[in-house]
Structures are given as C-alpha cells and as structure tokens.
C-alpha cells in the first residue's frame, strides 16, 4: 500500500507526495444563525492575479480579516490576491503568510467599510474545544454548504499521524482548499481545509491495476489557527 497526499483543489495524484493540485449595527455572532446556509455569509472566493483556473476559498472572520490555506493565494507578493465577498471584489493586504510545509494558513485583510453593514459587523469565533471523532460539521463555500463528520485518528495512515490528525469524510461533496469547517451545533470555526489524503491500493494477485481511494480531507484545526494569528489582531 502506498500513501498519497493531495491539495484539495486538484484531482492530480502522485504517490507519497503532495498534489498541487438599516441593518443593525449591533454585533451579530455566528451562534445567532438559524441554519447551515447562514454560514455561506462567511465564505469567500480568493482570486490570484491573474485568476487561477480553480476556485480559491476562504473564511471571513470579521473586522476585515480573511483566513485561507496558504497555497490558495500562494506567495502574496507574486499573486496579489483579491477577495470576493458580498458581491464586492476587493484587493487584499497581507497580515501573515504561512507555509505549505509548516502551517498551511494565510491571513489577509480587506477594507471592511466596503462591505454591507450587516456583514461588516459579523464575527466568526474560533471553536474553543478540539474536534471529536464522529461529530457533525458543516463545510461552507460561496456556492453552498455540505455536512460531514470528523473521522477518528485511526483512519490517518500511520506515517502521517501527528501531522494530519484532523480529518473529515465525504471527500466528494465537501468544499476544497481554504473552505471553512464549522461545528454544526455551536457554529464556530473548527478549521480550514488544507488537503486531501488518499491511499493507493496495489493490484491483487489476479492482476487488477492499482486504484486510489480517498480517506478524507485534512483541516488545519482551530488550535493551530489561534496560535497562527498574530498578537494584537482581533476579530
């Protein structure tokens, strides 16, 4: 058995490698939302300059801050990303850039005064408790939402444990890199989707060809996000 690891926005696979694939001015929190679809308000598109061929996703945290996977915008100075939110295409500024081999996160900022007041005032809190195997989550993109569940750690290939322990299932139906993973009950941000984990099953003695089986999607957990956000940055 061989293991593969792929970026969630592509279908290309390589063995044992990464795949590059009037509104109230009152503060409104995510917990006040009534259903999964409300979480779409926090989902954004992130476009490089010039735009990439695949959709880039991110999450609006509030106070003009956008969180995404580092490989979605890529190297900020080179790609000069824009954020599309609430029908506005806004240039982004860099707050902090991670690294794909380190922490796959990038924090951007936009001018919140360009947003509708009801969105400008919203905030998305980070979940205070770690994900638990079996719990229901919601993955949100601007196109829609999909429910999934947290996978147990034993589903992670042994050579990847300790680094990619937070996984969700339902690979084919959930959002790709940069999408937010939300606690379905508390509606806080549980993590940011980073990549897909797959295994290559070699052919059996009858000569069947190898086949690739998806395990789940790894998300950077809220605890890592909290550690990544610079001191003094609030939302």
Check residue 101 and give its pLDDT: 84
Check residue 176 and give its pLDDT: 95
| Interval 143-173: pLDDT, tens | 999 999 999 999 998 888 999 999 999 999 9
| Interval 31-76: pLDDT, tens | 445 589 899 999 999 999 999 999 999 999 999 999 999 999 999 9
User: CA–CA separation, 70 vs 93, rounded Å?
Assistant: 14
According to DSSP, the residues that pair with 139 across neighbouring strands are: 146, 181
State the architecture of 28-124 in CATH terms.
Beta Barrel (2.40)
Q: Domain 2-16+125-225 falls in which CATH fold? A: Thrombin, subunit H (2.40.10)
**Torsion angle (degrees, nearest 10) of CA 147, 120, 30, 175:** 10
Q: How far is CA 8 from CA 30, 40, 57, 112, 173, in A?
A: 26, 19, 11, 29, 12
Check residue 27 and give its pLDDT: 35
| Interval 110-138: pLDDT, tens | 999 999 888 878 899 999 999 999 999 99
Check residue 22 and give its pLDDT: 31
- For the chain, give every residue range classified as CATH 2.40.10.10: 28-124
**Per-residue pLDDT for 204 more than 80?**
no
């Amino acid at each position: 058995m061989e293991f593969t690891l792929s970026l969630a926005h592509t279908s290309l696979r390589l063995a044992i490698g990464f795949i590059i694939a009037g509104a109230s001015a009152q503060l409104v929190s995510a917990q006040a939302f009534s259903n999964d679809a409300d979480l779409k308000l926090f989902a954004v598109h992130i476009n490089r300059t010039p735009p990439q061929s695949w959709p880039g996703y991110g999450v609006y945290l509030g106070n003009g801050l956008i969180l995404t996977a580092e490989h979605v915008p890529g190297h900020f100075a080179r790609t000069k990303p824009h954020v599309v939110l609430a029908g506005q295409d806004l240039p982004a500024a860099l707050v902090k850039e991670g690294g794909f081999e380190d922490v796959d996160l990038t924090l951007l900022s936009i001018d919140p005064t360009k947003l509708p007041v009801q969105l400008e005032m919203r905030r998305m809190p980070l979940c205070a408790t770690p994900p638990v195997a079996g719990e229901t989550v919601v993955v949100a993109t601007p196109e829609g939402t999909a429910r999934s569940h947290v996978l147990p750690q034993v589903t992670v290939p042994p050579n990847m444990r300790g680094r990619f322990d937070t996984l969700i299932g339902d690979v084919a139906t959930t959002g790709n890199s940069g999408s937010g993973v939300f606690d379905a009950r508390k509606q806080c941000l549980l993590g940011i989707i980073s990549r897909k984990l797959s295994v290559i099953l070699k052919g059996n003695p009858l000569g069947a060809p190898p086949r690739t089986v998806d395990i789940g999607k790894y998300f950077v957990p809220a605890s890592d996000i909290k550690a990544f956000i610079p001191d003094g940055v609030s939302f």
